[in-house]
Structure 1
Amino acid sequence: MIRMLLRVLGHEYAGPVRRTVALMTVTAIVEGLSYALLVPVLHTLFGSDPGEVRPWLIAFGAAVAAYAVLRYLSDLAGFRSGTTLLAGMYHRIGDHLARLPLGWYSASRVGEVSALASRGVLDAMGVIAHLLSPFISAAVTPLTIVVVMIAYNWQLGLAAALGAPVVAAVQIWAGRSTAASDADTAARGAEATGRVIEYLQAQPVLRAGGRTGERFGLLDDSLTALQRASRRSTLSALPGVVGLALTVQAIFTVLLVLGAYLVLDGSIGAAEILAILVLAARCADPLLSLADIGGKLRAARSVLARLDEVLRTEPLPEPREPALPARHDLAFDSVGFRQGDRTVFDNVSLTVPDGSTLAVVGPSGAGKTTLLQLLARFADADAGAVRVGGVDVRDISTEELMSRIAVVFQEVYLFDGTIEDNVRLGRPDATDAEVRAAAAAARLDEVIERLPGGWAAHVGEGGARLSGGERQRVSIARALLKDAPIVLLDEITSALDPVNEAAVHEGIERLMAGRTVVTVAHRLRTVQRADRIVFVDGGRIVEHGTHDELLRAGGRYAGFWASSGASLTGR
């Protein structure tokens, strides 16, 4: 458990956690030793001169005081470590998720990541703040008392020591018997979270279909499955709880019978056996608490295992000696790429000279957006190489590559902040004048003027308070502010109204000027004026050339042009 916790936290946090565990262990040992002083206290009280108990009572009080101080310090260290590691864990998982290839983010992982990033991280870090101290106390304090019992009477101590493996075996058995049900509950919980998110996102569709009062079948099924899994998990833990209680009671009964035999045999006095039995009884409470603590630790371990699985997912590798491209031309060199069992690209080669514009067209599912993702290194090619300035993108650091590329997607996501916050994401250190100039070039200033609050207006989560066209203007202003030499455009005006389309197109024209541009076809005038056009279908480039050349050839592009009428759309 501790090993997995340290692996999930990372090397930088291993030291503080080890120190906290060491302090908690010392505290548990001192607690056991303080109880050990009960033996001479009781022996003296029931002896011939009870007045001699004073030094032992003082020693006992000092030991309890030392334990209280240590317990306070260890609990405080646990809480501080937990809160510190909580923030560190959020940063670590966030940084790791940002480096994973986009292909990793399948729809099934939405609920899993949401659950892990919210309640999961809190539960995992709560182990240090709330569970580690009582668990160590429940395990170490009884062992310390057993050692003390051996020192006072080896027969009773040995009997108690022989019970320790039995208790451990019951705990291990209980953990194994509930592991499968706990994993199933976690999986059902992640699925239910995903269905809740899906249900919320599907509200427009459900309401448009007149199903506002109708329950969502998939969500109901997932919640029912979660309820059943939780019930199975509870029932599977019951035998472990009962088994541990019976085991502890059986061990105490054996000690009681053995103690009575030793007293009757004259091997030990009544005062000593009473004191030792008090110690044995004191062992029972922490041992019985292991059932409750163990269940919570198993649940936390399940979360830690899923966090560990995410964090051990290999991100895109960074080059040891990053190269710096001297130019900004782009090239696909015999590129092959697969998504699952589907071949997206098969031996694709193309070039985009520095400062030129390439338009990519083709039917839905042809891989046009994937081409942009490979250029931006959101994923790595399975074969061949994607190059920027003649340098393989895998040999360029992610920071350097992204500093040279501005991407404008069709679906724009804005963070819940002000318009200015979202524009500044393009270049946080830009001056106010540069931000205003980028907004004016994207015709975002028109939007800002009519919004209450102007630049300080909040856009809402995902930019919900702005229209699609307004969000797109923010995205273009952000790209203009970044001023990157390479621009990737992904069908950014295909769903806009004429007013917003005109404004966005004007901003795009300014964004494209003097840069290397790859644009997935969205409107005819952009395609027509591209320096080169490629038609992608079936994982290959089936045609390439200028607009006029492809029309004269009368091939796939010409047919696509004729059938599309006034626009070229589709992914």
Structure 2
Amino acid sequence: MRGHSRMKTPSGHGAAPDGTGAADEAAARTLLRSAARHSRSRCVALCLTTAAASGASLLLPAALGRALDLLLTRPGDAAGTHWVLWCTGLVLLIALLDACHTVLAGTTDARATAWLRQRLVGHVLAVGPRAGERFGPGELVARLVGNAAQAGTAPATAATLLAALAGPVGAVVALGLIDPLLAAVFLGGAPVLTLLLRAFARDSSQCVARYQDVQGRIAGALAEAIGGARTIAAGGTADKEVARILRPLPELSREGRRMWRVQGRAAAQAVAVAPLLQLGVVAVGGVLLVHHRLSVGELLAASRYAVLATGVGVLVGQLSGLIRARAAARRLGEVLTEPAPVYGTRQLPPGEGRLELRSVTVRRGGRTVLDGVDLVVPAGRTVAVVGRSGSGKSLLAALAGRLADPDDGHVLLDGVPLRDLDRTALRRAVGHAFERPALLGDTIEDTIAFGIPSPPPDRVRQAAATARADSFVRRLPDGYATPCAEAPLSGGECQRLGLARAFAHDSRLLVLDDALSSLDTVTERHITEALLRHTPGSSRLIIAHRVSTAARADAVVWLAAGRVRAVGTHAELWRSAAYREVFGSSGTERNGGAG
């Protein structure tokens, strides 16, 4: 997690310290190589198809030249007709190979894109909340959807480009076979074309990278606005939000125009140089024709080979696609360099969920959020964590289930460091309920059973009853079989489903991160009492904002500015005016029912 303390840049991703850019580039190259290996057979077929098309294109000028010579020198001879038929066959073969190339390129792109998305989504989910914190949801979606599609074209483009080189190279060889002087004339100007391609690759890479970066920023702002749509509507600020989201559009337009200018300049320069080379070859060929060193058909073939040899337009298009794919792959590589947690192999010994934090320190964005926290949640007991906003309560809850790792210190469950635990063992042992639970699964029953392992239906219904959710679930059109997308649920009902999901699994530690905030006072009291009564043999860590929740806990941990200010019962801490201020109390009201 130390790498996670990088500051966010306006583009939404971490400002890379020394060496990180090289790591991103290395990850991009590895990713593209893996995508190419995944589509190896199709890439080989594509390369062979393109090479065959190039070969047929190289044979066609020679066949045309031979047919012309025979028609001119031996009119009416069947040999000339045969060569015309050969030319027709080559044209049809080239058309067929082009069609095969289109199909193979499309399927290769789709296959590579699907593999990249699966690879990236798996890594993002393995990294967990850190990925969203570093890049932002909109930026991640832009990379996993748009950039993955662009990077997915790399294997097919590289295979096509490699085979397409056979065309110009073969054409130069063919010129040399017709007459070495023709090849010498062309090669005299070839270095100019090479320099043009190198300059294009360099300038285009920078433009494409900036263009994709601005696209990511727009996507991130759009995702934020969608998440806050109700706030925007209530505030009547839709026009301002549209302006904020689209603020980078002029920059996007500038980078887009610059990108196309670079490509247009390269194409224009190539168009300016290529005809001169072609004219040079044709002029020398004309001189050789006058001196009877070439036939008319050979001159025709030489002129066609000069066109093939200067096929820079095709190469510029392929190279441009490869550059865009590599720039997109580098953005995917930035995601892959975010390290996923490494799990151990240890299993938990018998226990009732004793949680211990030893000198735990966590930093975010260069700021220490938790500073040397020592905390013990005794086995089978309930501990509430209270504190003002920003004191580190939710981060402490994340540490308890290893949804985050400390920069320093250790977190132990029943004496075993969480880093050493097997992943499945850890997820079985720790249950979570959140302020805004995600309703994952096709139906209401699926979302309550979500987790490892999936509990049986009777356990799901028992957990829903404990969370006071059974009654409103049964009123839904199809009860527990109601699709989540079709269930009109309030915030409190969603929270109760999240609590039911936590109760449905036999966890030895339950972590409730403000999971009671949307409940009315009566429901909150019933659920808290049921939680204490129906979860024997497990510990409970509750992030609390209400006096009543803290009052029912066995002990209260008071956090202030990332440190443990005091630990005790709610009644003991209530004597402190500063503690009462955490709940917005002046001290004249009753002690939350604790006496």
TM-score normalised to structure 2 length: 0.84
Residues paired across the two proteins, number: 559
Alignment match of 2:524 (pick from 482, 493, 501): 501
Match of 1:243 in 2: 269
Contact 2:443 2:482 survives alignment (8 Å): yes
Structure 1: 5+ residue stretches without partners: none
Equivalent residues of 1:441, 1:510 under 8 A apart:
no
- Matches of 1:291 and 1:3 in 2, distance apart? 25
Checking the alignment, whether the CA contact within 8 Å between 1:438 and 1:481 is kept in structure 2 is yes
2:58 is matched with which residue? Answer: 36
With over 3 angstroms needed to count, the CA separation of the structure-2 counterparts of 1:526 and 1:394, relative to structure 1, is same
Cα drift, residue 194 of structure 1: 1.9
User: Which 10-residue stretch deviates more, 401-410 or 411-420?
Assistant: 411-420
Q: CA-to-partner distance for each residue in 1:427-452, whole Å, 9 max, x for gaps? A: 56433223222222222221112222
Cα shift readout 1:80-118 (whole Å, capped 9, x = no counterpart): 333333332222111100122534423753322121122
Residue aligning to 1:347: 372
In 2, the alpha carbon distance for the partners of 1:142 and 1:52 equals 30
Matching residue within 469, 485, 489 for 1:466: 489
1:136-191 Cα shifts (integer Å, max 9, x gaps): 45433222222333333222234434555433331221232233332222122111
More displaced 10-residue stretch of structure 1: 154-163 or 48-57: 48-57
> In the alignment, is the contact (CA less than 8 A) between 1:442 and 1:506 conserved in 2?
no
* Separation in structure 2 between the aligned mates of residue 3 and residue 264 of structure 1, nearest angstrom: 57
Q: Is the 8 A contact 1:171 1:291 kept in 2?
A: yes
Match of 1:230 in 2: 256
Q: Which residue, out of 323, 331, 337, partners 1:306?
A: 331
The answer to whether the aligner puts 1:518 opposite 2:541 as a matched pair is yes
Change (3 A) 1:120 1:281: same
The offset of 1:204, in angstroms, is: 2.5
Instruction: Please give the residue correspondences for 1:390-401 in structure 2 after superposition, counting only pairs within 5 Å.
Output: 390-401=415-426
After superposition, the C-alpha distances for 1:382-407 in whole angstroms (9 at most, x for unaligned) are 11211122222111233331221111
Range with bigger deviation, 366-375 or 173-182: 173-182
Question: Residues 450 and 73 of structure 1: is their aligned pair in 2 closer, same or farther, counting only changes over 3 Å?
Answer: same
Q: TM-score, normalised by structure 1?
A: 0.87
SS at match of 2:459: helix
Structure 1: distance between partners of 2:440 and 2:468 = 20
SS at match of 1:221: coil
Aligned to 2:470: 445
Range that drifts further, 472-481 or 213-222: 213-222
- Which shows bigger deviation, 555-564 or 171-180? 555-564
Partner AA of 2:118 in structure 1: H
Give me the whole-angstrom Cα distance separating, in 2, the residues matched to 1:391 and 1:364.
31
Sort the Cα spacing of 1:499 and 1:291 in 2 relative to 1 into closer, same or farther, 3 A: farther
The alignment partner of 2:358 has SS state of strand
Structure 1 residues 149-168: aligned runs within 5 Å: 149-161=175-187, 163-168=189-194
2:123 aligned to which of 96, 107, 110: 96
Q: Distance in 2 between matches of 1:511 and 1:501?
A: 15
CA displacement 1:338-388 (0-9 Å, x = unmatched): 111111122222222222222111121111111111122222211121112
Alpha-carbon distance in structure 1 between the residues aligned to 2:552 and 2:27:
57
**Mapping for residues 4-403 of structure 1, pairs under 5 Å:** 7-8=30-31, 11=34, 13-37=35-59, 38-47=61-70, 48-49=73-74, 51-53=78-80, 75-100=102-127, 102-106=129-133, 109-128=136-155, 131=157, 135-136=161-162, 138-161=164-187, 163-211=189-237, 216-284=242-310, 286-319=311-344, 322-326=345-349, 327=351, 328-403=353-428
Task: Name the CA shift for 1:469/1:400 in 2 (closer, same or farther; >3 Å).
Answer: same
Question: Percent sequence identity over matched residues?
Answer: 27
CA contact (8 A) 1:534 1:541 kept: yes
Rounded to whole Å, the distance in 2 between the matches of 1:409 and 1:192 is 29
SS of structure 1 residue aligned to 2:363: strand
Matched AA of 1:114: V
SS of the residue 2:202 aligns to: helix
Displacement of 1:472 after TM fit? 0.8
Ranked by relative contact order (alpha carbons within 8 Å, sequence separation 6 or more), the top structure is 2
Does the Cα contact within 8 Å between 1:108 and 1:191 map onto a contact in 2?
Answer: no
Determine the structure 2 residue equivalent to 1:420. 445
Q: CA deviation at 1:295?
A: 3.4
Aligned AA (1:124) = A
Cα offsets for 1:315-342 (capped at 9, x unmatched) = 22334xx211214321111112111111
SS at match of 2:442: coil
8 A contact 2:369–2:561 mirrored in 1: yes
